[in-house]
Structure 1
């Protein structure tokens, strides 16, 4: 029986550096443009048809006043079905692309050196079927975690209706919300651990078996697995949040403004791609250390 790998903070920068492969991140950004465009086209058409011929078009391009916002919301309400359909299609496309990108990350993690575009694409297609099955299976534990969290929140809400003061209800509600986040986070980590087993052993094609192996990995080596996972997640989400905040406060007016806003948006997307890649790299390293 192999010794339990211990958590080491050195695993974080190692995985972070390994995931900084410009070809992988560029493919991530390009593929994620597809669902973005699907969502953006209806919004672009709405803004174009409503504002292009306004005498205040130049001013509205910089900031929308309340009258313009009210008019746009009214038009949006009349075309709600179009936006709902576009959102559903974009979500489905995102999930399908996610399996391909996971396969590319697995290919990059297994390669002795940074693979090129062709190798990444071929590897993504080779891993596509098992990664897609893992994605489909993930709906089951994620749904169970979500329902358990909702039950806890409902119980906290019921308790809040019985107590006298707001302070008495605040703690149970915070604990219920924290439980939901914890459960969903653990399930997400277990699914990524399952992907690590799929990447480590190409003969493994069963998503369910790989996921169960990932669950056992988290149970046997919680510090080594979850320690790096949490640190990388916090770093990635923090940086992506900062970039998103900068984007919100950047007016995309003019060539420079539009370019800056676009670059900030894509930088946030790439950061999420780097975070997901680094987490998978770290888990694959742990699987290798456990198998050695």
Structure 2
């Protein structure tokens, strides 16, 4: 064990919000995620430049979005395979880098303090194998809950086809969509709880055992686990939405506009990194220690 002590949900929530504000970790997250961004952005930039650079309307399009122009450009760009290959390469690189990003957070949590750049790089490399194995195993709960979500959506479509009134059809569709979203949230909270187990137990090596502990944590404390996951996730995406709106209203024309737009985008990346870090710290704060003598649940003792 690394000295983690289980705290109440409110204490874990409060400490996680500040624990996510590790500036070195946020900078590392931004720099590393720039790699798949460049893999996709450079070919897109080249295609757009070849199609639009010689147009007399290029300056106007750079300052104001034109839907007709965008449709024509995308239809022309999709004729080649360069963009498709760039998107696939960027996606694969993101998938293979994600365990390293998570590993940096896990290493920081295990150390119980903010690590330097060297410590973060070393920690990400050390934890990469465990995080990658957990990523592979996580397809099991994602697949299971994905099947349940698809079943709910199919039932909603069946109910909508049999409904006599449009309001009844809309109700069934909305309920099915809500059930599908709930399935995703449940799967994600279990997987995040599994990742948090590595922060709690220094001796934990098995990704399968971590997933099992994350599942048991969800069963024992479902309201606490879901509450912490949803609270931090909603906060993170709310901030990211505000920043995305800010970026959408910022024209990336000229040197100053490009720098401002780039900085706003990276601020959004930092918000996502903070959200992921705070979420893991919060779930680790309420995790069940392996040597605990008393089981704590969200239910009454009689249950």
- TM-score (structure 1 length as normaliser): 0.92
What's the offset of the Cα at 1:33? 0.8
> Which deviates more, 69-78 or 158-167?
69-78
Identify unmatched segments of 5+ residues in structure 1. none
Residues 85 and 219 of structure 1: CA distance in aligned 2, closer, same or farther (over 3 Å): same
Q: Normalized per residue, which structure has more helix?
A: 1
What's the offset of the Cα at 1:31? 0.7
Distance in 2 (alpha carbons) for counterparts of 1:92 and 1:77: 20
What's the offset of the Cα at 1:70? 4.1
What's the offset of the Cα at 1:214? 0.7
The answer to whether structure 1 residue 141 and structure 2 residue 141 are counterparts is yes
Contact 1:7 1:224 in 2 (8 A): no
> Following superposition of structure 1 onto structure 2, how do residues 215-234 of structure 1 map, counting pairs within 5 Å?
215-234=215-234
SS at match of 2:174: helix
Q: Deviations over 1:183-210 (max 9, x none)?
A: 1111111111111112322332221111
Q: Deviations over 1:156-187 (max 9, x none)?
A: 11111111211011112111111111111111
Identify unmatched segments of 5+ residues in structure 2. 1-5, 293-303
Residues 65 and 86 of structure 1: CA distance in aligned 2, closer, same or farther (over 3 Å): same
Distance in 1 (alpha carbons) for counterparts of 2:277 and 2:271: 10
The answer to whether structure 1 residue 187 and structure 2 residue 192 are counterparts is no
SS at match of 1:262: helix
Q: Give the number of equivalent residue pairs.
A: 287
SS at match of 2:246: helix
Distance in 2 (alpha carbons) for counterparts of 1:56 and 1:224: 55
Distance in 2 (alpha carbons) for counterparts of 1:197 and 1:6: 15
Contact 1:137 1:207 in 2 (8 A): yes
**4+ residue segments displaced more than 3 Å:** 5-8, 64-67, 288-292
Q: Deviations over 1:216-236 (max 9, x none)?
A: 111112233222221111100
Distance in 2 (alpha carbons) for counterparts of 1:34 and 1:202: 31
Residues 71 and 173 of structure 1: CA distance in aligned 2, closer, same or farther (over 3 Å): closer
Over the residues paired in the alignment, what is the CA RMSD in angstroms?
1.8
Partner residue in 2 for 1:78? 79
- TM-score (structure 2 length as normaliser): 0.89
